[in-house]
Amino acid sequence: MPVSELQTAVLSDHSEHSGTAGICVVCPHPWHEHDPIGVRYCTATTASALSRGCICR
């Protein structure tokens, strides 16, 4: 699956399960505040169903 499709799926998943659209389900930060590394980390965490801490700065 290309990265853009995966990011779209994760963004959709975030808005459905977070209770508040735009809040990341992996960490307590708004999705729009993620830097590129945070997006990659939280996307991979969600896609792999991992439980690990936040790396946002």
Q: Which of the four pLDDT bands, split at 50, 70 and 90, describes residue 18? A: very low
Helices (H) and strands (E) in the chain, counts: 2, 0
Say how far apart CA 3 and CA 56 lie, in whole Å.
20
> What does the block give as tokens for 34?
């993620």
- How far apart (Å, rounded) are the C-alpha atoms in residues 32 and 10? 13
Task: List pLDDT tens digits, range 26-50.
Answer: 888 998 999 999 999 999 999 999 8
**Confidence check: pLDDT of 14 > 70:** no
| pLDDT on residue 54 | 84
Exposed, middle or buried by CB within 10 Å (0-12, 13-18, 19+), for 37? exposed
